[in-house]
Structure 1
Amino acid sequence: MTTTAPFGRALCAMITPFSADGALDLDGAQRLADHLVSRGCDGLVLSGTTGESPTTSDAEKAALVEAVREAVGDRASIVTGVGTSDTRHTVKLALEAEKAGADGVLVVSPYYSRPPQDALEEHFRTVADASGLPVVLYDIPGRTGTRIEPGTMLRLAEHPRIVAVKDCSYDFLGAQKVLARTELAYYAGCDEHNLALYAVGGAGYVSTVANVVPAQLRFVLDAFDSGDTATAAGAQQRATPLIESMMAAGLPGTVTAKALLNELGLPAGPVRAPLRPASRETVDGLLAAYEDLTAG
Structure 2
Amino acid sequence: MRLDGVLFFPVTPFGPDGDVAEPVLARHVAEGVAAGAGGVFTACGTGEFNALDLGDYSRVVATSVAAADGRVPVFAGAGGALPSARAFARAAAAGGADGLLLLPPYLVGGPPAGLVRYVREVAEAGGLPVIIYQRGNARFSPEAVAELAGVPEVIGFKDGLGDFDLLQRIILTVRRATDREFQFFNGLPTAELTVPAYRGLGVTLYSSAVFAFAPEIALAFYKAVTSEDEALTERLLTGFYLPLVELRDRVPGYAVSLVKAGVRLRGLAAGPVRPPLVDPSPEHEAELAAIIATGLEIAGAA
After superposition, residues 55-134 of structure 1 pair within 5 angstroms as 55-85=51-81, 87-134=82-129
Quote how far apart the aligned CAs of 1:197 are.
1.8
| Relative contact order, higher structure (CA 8 A, sep 6+) | 1
Matched, 1:162 2:154: yes
Asked whether the equivalents of residues 195 and 220 of structure 1 are also in contact (C-alpha less than 8 Å), the reply is no
Change (3 A) 1:164 1:98: same
Show CA shifts across 1:53-87 (max 9, x none).
Answer: 121111211111111111121222211011112x2
User: Gaps (5+ residues) in structure 2?
Assistant: 175-180
- 3-state secondary structure, aligned to 1:105: strand
Asked whether the equivalents of residues 255 and 278 of structure 1 are also in contact (C-alpha less than 8 Å), the reply is yes
CA distance in 2, matches of 1:48, 1:88: 18
Match of 1:259 in 2: 261
What do you get for the CA RMSD once the two structures are aligned? 2.1
CA distance in 1, matches of 2:21, 2:246: 26
CA distance in 2, matches of 1:207, 1:246: 17
Change (3 A) 1:165 1:228: same
Asked whether the equivalents of residues 10 and 42 of structure 1 are also in contact (C-alpha less than 8 Å), the reply is yes
Match of 1:47 in 2: 43
Asked whether the equivalents of residues 105 and 136 of structure 1 are also in contact (C-alpha less than 8 Å), the reply is yes
What amino acid does structure 1 have at the position aligned with 2:292? Answer: Y
Quote how far apart the aligned CAs of 1:274 are.
2.3
What amino acid does structure 2 have at the position aligned with 1:96? Answer: A
CA distance in 2, matches of 1:15, 1:172: 29
Quote how far apart the aligned CAs of 1:293 are.
0.7
- 3-state secondary structure, aligned to 2:224: helix
Asked whether the equivalents of residues 44 and 77 of structure 2 are also in contact (C-alpha less than 8 Å), the reply is yes
Show CA shifts across 1:172-200 (max 9, x none).
Answer: 22222222343431121121223432353
Quote how far apart the aligned CAs of 1:22 are.
1.0
TM-score, normalised relative to structure 2:
0.87
Q: Quick one: which of 7, 10, 29 aligns to 1:33?
A: 29
Matched, 1:288 2:283: no
User: Gaps (5+ residues) in structure 1?
Assistant: none
- 3-state secondary structure, aligned to 1:260: helix
**Identity over the aligned pairs, expressed in percent?**
26
Match of 1:153 in 2: 145
- 3-state secondary structure, aligned to 1:110: coil
Quote how far apart the aligned CAs of 1:245 are.
4.3
Change (3 A) 1:242 1:189: farther
What amino acid does structure 2 have at the position aligned with 1:24? Answer: V
Quote how far apart the aligned CAs of 1:277 are.
1.5
Total equivalences in the alignment: 288
Show CA shifts across 1:157-184 (max 9, x none).
Answer: 2212111122111112222222234343
CA distance in 2, matches of 1:62, 1:7: 23
CA distance in 2, matches of 1:237, 1:184: 32
Match of 2:277 in 1: 275
Change (3 A) 1:9 1:246: farther
Quote how far apart the aligned CAs of 1:278 are.
1.1
Match of 2:178 in 1: none
Quote how far apart the aligned CAs of 1:231 are.
4.2
